[in-house]
A and B are shown apart, each in its own frame.
Chain A
Amino acid sequence: MASRKKVLLKVIILGDSGVGKTSLMNQYVNKRFSSQYKATIGADFLTKEVLVDDRMVTLQIWDTAGQERFQSLGVAFYRGADCCVLVYDTTAPNTFKSLESWRDEFLIQASPRDPDNFPFVVIGNKIDLENRAVTPKRAQAWCAAKNDLPHFECSAKEATKVDEAFVTIARAALQQEADTELYKEVPERVDLRRNDAARSNSGDCAC
């Protein structure tokens, strides 16, 4: 185990306006639900220190405005993401349909190295409500088709499955980060001395 250095993992939450992105983030980080959150304008983030399989990591969770026209300014924080959470509202089928374009948009803007294997986690929120309109079956079918994305049905309001979802998110992000680091540590032309810790900072290769 070469590095026990602190890791910062960047997580981006995307999804239509009103699906509960801000509420999920606050439920996870601050352990509370409030019906008093303002609609998100621009972007904001919260951080949380968590233990993932014995390893202390800092999750930096980015919450965004849901209206798609504001995404053109989003590039600034999409870059360098380690995991992307796609949220829909289980009572609003439209928000589920939008996931496809949120995912595509993210891949375009963030341009991760290996888009096919970039970790996404899908959350269907508001399962505390009666009027469910997106069945788990339908959601799972979509997730399966997208390279088996992990899928959770949560309630930010009642804190159902929120922690579970974020454990998966953190783990996926850590894995992604390790892969990226690995890539960075591999010098373009020469050898594979990936234990050379000093190199991990000189990641800006000329590619």
Chain B
Amino acid sequence: MRIIFEEENVLVHGNAVPESGRISIIEHDSSQRREFVWEPIAAGDWTFLGGSAFDTGFRQDLNDISEYFKPKRNDSGLRYLVIKLRDGATLPSLHFGPGGIERVESAFQAFFVIKEVGSGQYKLELIEEPKDARLSLWEDDPEPRIASGRDVLNRGFGIFSKITRAISSNIQEEVARSPISRAFFNEGQPELPLERPVVIRATLVDEDDFRDFVLAGRYKAIKEKIFRGGLTGGARPFAWKQLLGYESIKNPEEKYHTLRAQWEGLTAEQEEYCTILRERRSLIAKDVTRTDPHRLNAEQIQRLSELLTTYCIYDQDIGYVQGMSDIAVVILDIYPDDIDAFWVFAKFMYRVRGNFERSQEAIKRQFEALRRVLAFTDGEMVRFLDRKESGHMYFCFPWFLILFRRLATHETLPTIWDAWLCSPCANFHLLIAAAVLDLKRKEIMNEEFGYCEILQVVNRLSGNVDTDEILARAQSLLVQISRSLSTPPIIKQLLNLSD
């Protein structure tokens, strides 16, 4: 969490006596969500989780603020602001000392386009920002848009190849000038030594740990801890909601019921006219019974089917595609409540929905990216795969499509997703894939396996892997890549590592 703006001595008139406090604008690391906060100074350890009673302060998403009213001067000599929200509600009026209002207004200018619409009345239009941090490789549009420098690095391969081209042309110029570096350059791409640093997985983060860190605003630290050790089953439901930005959903219940009613309310005649939905529902019906067939009971299968059908209504461009039931079932396991499960699934899908697009471009970009990473971590393996006509990496398809769902069991999988959600680098799934290959390299390479055998090795891994070993190895690769002085810029960009 980052504090972007702070102003002290701001009074709020509660029920009886005015309370003095501080307002601030904060930004959350994970979601980049920004909030407008008022907290009483005297209250000390205030909590947001307990509600919004005056004595514990209040907070509001910046997205929700639509207007403010600034009367000329009130009788106490203090000046005050009334902030109006999109849904028509107003926040308690905030009374400022000298210059306070001006400071708040200028802070607002960083986030809003402000228009005066009446005497002392201002309308706020949020300046468009990139939405939730969607993983770069799933992003479909490679066109540059107005964005921060960091955001540009987060972009997909379209930009990437431009960057690479720029970089390699620089290198070539460099080379032309210096005969020594030319010799070096001709040595080929840099590669990491195969000896990996030892990483031992940390202990699980439990519910209390998670809450304590969140309350203290130590988001980065807690993510790091989760990345290294994973979450306990008890901590996961709350933690995943936070990590996926569940809070940003307004009226989740109402919205969920509206979506659900749209398919539940169809009459038989209407359904006749909904060919696409009907086909999707029939695909869903086929897949829910064979998603985790030995494990799910009739009621769970029913829930799975309802969740996926509701998602079809919510995301009509994707609808239902095979593989989605594998993801949904993991989330249903964690959330007994249908509404929670649905929105967590929707948030999760937001990050990976590129995988399910018709063009399969996102998946192809991931193959390409994995190849680049592997060329650095284990060039010998890439050369081997090329010789076996497997350098396209297609055999990793199920890993990427459903994020290792079938590699692990329903018990061990969530830890992989914990790490993926909390990873300090971007596209950590590439390192997980590289780690699996790293652990299986002897088996694959000693036997001189061809494409078919490699595919078979990969397919047979299902449920027979030690996920902690894989995660430790993936972490180890990250350590090695971060420390190495020869890490190619393209890989730093891919993983969003700074220098």
User: Which residues from chain A sit less than 8 Å from chain B, CB to CB?
Assistant: 17-18, 35-39, 41-45, 60, 65-67, 69-70, 72-73, 76-77, 94
- Once the chains bind, are A43 and B360 in contact (CB under 8 Å)? no
Stretch at the interface among B91-99, B397-405, B438-446: B397-405
Q: Is B51 an interface residue (CB 8 A)?
A: no
Extra contacts, 13 of them, besides A18-B286, A45-B452, A73-B363 (Cβ < 8 A), are A17-B286, A35-B289, A35-B293, A36-B293, A37-B290, A39-B291, A41-B402, A44-B455, A65-B322, A66-B322, A67-B322, A72-B359, A76-B392
Q: What residue in chain A is nearest B399 (Cβ atoms)?
A: A42
Q: B451: which A residues are within 8 A, CB to CB?
A: 76-77
Cα separation A76 to B287 with both chains bound (whole Å)? 25
* Chain B positions 449 through 484: 1 when the CB is less than 8 Å from some CB of chain A, otherwise 0: 001100110010000000000000000000000000
- Please give, as numbers and ranges, the residues of chain B lying within 8 Å of A77 by CB-CB distance: 451
Q: State whether A69 and B290 are in contact (beta carbons under 8 Å apart), knowing that A39-B322, A76-B392 are contacts in the complex.
A: no
CB-CB under 8 A from B291, the residues of chain A are 38-39
CA distance A141 to B283 in the complex (A): 28
CA distance A78 to B456 in the complex (A): 16
- The docked-state distance in angstroms from the alpha carbon of A69 to that of B354 is 13
Among A35, A37, A41, A44, contact of B322 (Cβ-Cβ < 8 Å): A41
Binding site for A on B (CB under 8 A): 279, 283, 286-287, 289-294, 321-323, 325-326, 356-360, 363, 392, 394-395, 397-398, 401-402, 406, 451-452, 455-456, 459
- Verify A72–B401 contact, CB threshold 8 A: no
Q: Which residues of chain A are near B455, meaning CB under 8 Å?
A: 43-45
Q: Is A70 within 8 A of B360, CB to CB?
A: yes
Assess the A45–B456 pair: CB atoms within 8 A: yes
Q: In whole angstroms, how far apart are the Cα atoms of A162 and B291 in the complex?
A: 25
Do A73 and B290 form a contact, CB below 8 Å, given A42-B398, A45-B452, A45-B456?
A: no
- A sample of 11 inter-chain contacts (CB < 8 A) reads A35-B290, A36-B293, A36-B294, A38-B293, A39-B322, A39-B325, A41-B406, A73-B360, A76-B394, A76-B451, A77-B451
CB distance from A89 to the nearest CB of B (A): 10
- Nearest A residue to B460 via CB reads A44
CA distance A38 to B322 in the complex (A): 11
Verify B401–A41 contact, CB threshold 8 A.
yes
CB < 8 Å: which of A37, A41, A60, A65 contacts B452?
A: A60
Closest Cβ neighbor of A36 among chain B residues: B293
A41 to B279, CA, bound (A): 19
Question: Could you say which residues of chain B place their CB within 8 Å of the CB of A45?
Answer: 452, 455-456
Chain A contacts for B294, CB-based, 8 A: 36
Nearest chain-A residue to B390 (Cβ)?
Answer: A76
Closest CB in chain A relative to B42 CB, distance in Å: 58
Contacts of A94 in B (CB 8 A): 279
Q: List residues of chain A with CB within 8 A of the CB of B325.
A: 39
Q: Return chain A residues, CB-CB under 8 Å to B289.
A: 35
Closest to A92 in B: B282
B360 touches A37 (CB 8 A): no
Nearest chain B CB to A205's CB is how many angstroms away?
Answer: 18
- A73-B394 contact given A41-B323, A44-B455, CB 8 Å threshold: yes
Name the residue of chain B whose CB is nearest to the CB of A35: B293
Residues in B whose Cβ lies below 8 Å from that of A38: 290-293, 406
Q: Which of B287, B358, B397 contacts A73 (CB 8 A)?
A: B397
Q: Complex Cα distance A105/B290, Å?
A: 26
Q: What are the 6 A-B residue pairs with the smallest beta carbon separation, nearest first?
A: A18-B286, A42-B397, A36-B293, A41-B398, A42-B398, A67-B322
Contact A39 B286 (CB under 8 A): yes
Q: Is the CB of B398 within 8 A of A39?
A: no
**A residues in contact with B394, CB < 8 Å:** 42, 73, 76
A69 and B322 CA atoms in complex are apart in Å by 10
**CA of A41 to CA of B363, assembled, Å:** 13
One of A44, A60, A72 near B360 (C-beta < 8 A): A72
Taking the closest CB of chain A, its distance from the CB of B275, in whole angstroms, is 10
Q: Which of B356, B392, B397 has the most CB of A within 10 A?
A: B397
Instruction: Report if A37-B293 is in contact (Cβ < 8 Å); known contacts: A18-B286, A69-B358, A76-B392.
Output: yes
Q: Which residues of A contact B287 (CB under 8 A)?
A: 17-18, 39
Residues of chain A contacted by B279 (CB below 8 angstroms): 94
**Which interface residue of A17, A38, A94 has the most chain B CB atoms within 10 A?**
A38
Complex Cα gap A37–B459 (Å): 14
Which residues from A are CB-within-8-Å of B401? 41-42
- Cross-chain contact B459 with A44 (CB below 8 angstroms): yes
> Is the beta-carbon distance between A67 and B452 smaller than 8 angstroms?
no
Provide the bound-state CA to CA distance between A66 and B357, in Å: 15
- In the docked arrangement, what's the CA distance between A17 and B406, Å? 19
Q: How far is the CA of A37 from the CA of B279 in the complex (A)?
A: 22
Q: Nearest A residue to B292 by beta-carbon distance?
A: A38
**CB neighbours of B392 from chain A (8 A):** 76
Query: How many angstroms from the CA of A38 to the CA of B323 in the assembled complex?
Result: 10
Closest chain B CB from A37 CB (angstroms):
6
> Cα distance A60–B357 when bound, in Å?
30
Q: Which residues of A contact B360 (CB under 8 A)?
A: 69-70, 72-73
Q: Tell me if B452 and A39 are in contact (CB < 8 A).
A: no
Give bound CA distance, A66 to B292, whole Å: 18
Closest chain A residue to B326 by CB distance?
A41
- Distance (whole angstroms) from the CB of A181 to the closest CB of chain B: 19
Would you call A17 and B397 a contact (CB within 8 A)?
no
Residues of A close to B293: CB separation below 8 A: 35-38
